[in-house]
Amino acid sequence: MKNGVHLITYADSLGGNIRELHALLKNNFSNALVGIHLLPFYPSSADRGFAPITYREVDERFGSWEDVEYLGADFDLTVDFMVNHVSSRSSWFLDWKEKGPESEWDGLFIPVDRLYPDGIPEEDLKKIYTRKPRDPWIPITSADGSTRYIWCTFSEEQIDIDVFSETGRRWLKEELSALCSHQGIKMIRLDAVGYATKKPGTRFFFEEPEIVELFDRCKAITSPFGVELLPEVHEHHSYQERLAGWGLPVYDFALPMLILYAFYSGEASPLAGWLKRCPRNCITTLDTHDGIGVVDVADLLSQDQIEFTVNALYEKGSNMNRRYSSEDYGN
C-alpha cells in the first residue's frame, strides 16, 4: 500500500457507478491520489452496503468485478469486509433459517441460548458494549415455526456471525480468500471487527486473546495474496495503540476532534501531545462516511473540551444529530 493520499468514497458518490468514478479520478486526480477506499459495493440489504448479501458479486447498479479490477490497476484499492455480520437476506442466513441444524451454515449464527442456556444475567447484560439503544438480539421464526433469539448488534438486517466456530472459520477462509483473489486489492478493512468476540461475562468487544487469534488467522489468509489488513475500531485511543503494537496498521480516529478543538479554541496542546505519542503505522483521517467519532478522544480531551468542540460544530452548521453523540450510541 503506497503512502500518500487515499480517497474514501462510495461507488456512486462521484459519478453513478465505478466506471464513471474511475474516469473522473483518472482524468482529474491521478497526480493527487495514490489509492481509493471503495466503500461496500456488494449486493446489500441495508446500511448503504454494510449488510452484505454476498461478497462474490458487485451490485449491478455499480458495475462489475472487471470495473473494480480496472480501478485497482490505477489506484491502490482498499475494500471492506464485515467480520461481525451478514445480511438477513443472505443465502447463508436464509439457508440456516430454513434448515436449522441440517444447514451447512449451522454454527455460523449465534442463538442467545447457545451463549446463555439459562438466560442472560442482568449484570452480564449491563456489561455488553452495544452501539444501539436496544438489546443486542432479535427474535427469528424458523421454517418449523419455532422462535429463537439470535445475536444482532446493529440493525435487524445485519445478523451477527460466529467466526470462531468451525463453520465460521470455514466461512471466513472461503470469503476472505475469494475477495483477495481479485486483482488490484491491496488492503481489506475489517469493519466492526471489535464486536466479533463474544464471551459471557465480558463487554463482548475486543476480547483477548480471541481478538489476537482472529487477526492472526485473517493475516494467514490474506498475506499469501499480498493483501494487508486494516482493523476498524472506533473506541478509546488505547485500542489503536494496542493494535499498532501487534504490528497492524490503525486508523487515527482521534485526529479530527483534536484538530477541530485546536481550531475552535486556539489551544493546540492536546493535538501536539497526541502527535508525539500516536502510533506511526497509522492511517490519518479527517472524516469518515460515519462522521467524526467522539469516543476516540476520551482522555485526550477533557469532557468540557469535548462538549465545547461538539457545540462549536453545531454552531457552525454541521449536519449532526445530537442523539448519535449520546450515551445511547456509546459516543
- Which residue in the list 76, 232, 252, 296 is annotated as catalytic? 232
Give the number of other CB atoms < 10 A from CB of residue 302. Answer: 12
pLDDT tens series, the chain, 331 aa: 889 999 999 999 999 999 999 999 999 999 999 999 999 999 999 999 999 999 999 999 999 999 999 999 999 999 999 999 999 999 999 999 999 999 999 999 999 999 999 999 999 999 999 878 889 999 999 888 889 999 999 999 999 999 999 999 999 999 999 999 999 999 999 999 999 999 999 999 999 999 999 999 999 999 999 999 999 998 999 999 999 999 999 999 999 999 999 999 999 999 999 999 999 999 998 888 778 889 999 999 999 999 999 999 989 877 666 655 556 555 5
Annotated domain spans of the chain: 87-160, 254-331
Q: Has 232 been annotated as catalytic?
A: yes
CA distance 219 to 215: 6
Cell of 309: 468542540
Q: Has 216 been annotated as catalytic?
A: no
Class of domain 87-160: alpha beta
- Looking at residue 258, its pLDDT comes to 97
CA distance 307 to 132: 21
- Which residue in the list 157, 175, 191, 252 is annotated as catalytic? 191
- Looking at residue 326, its pLDDT comes to 57
Helix (H), strand (E) at residue 37? strand 35-38
- Looking at residue 320, its pLDDT comes to 62
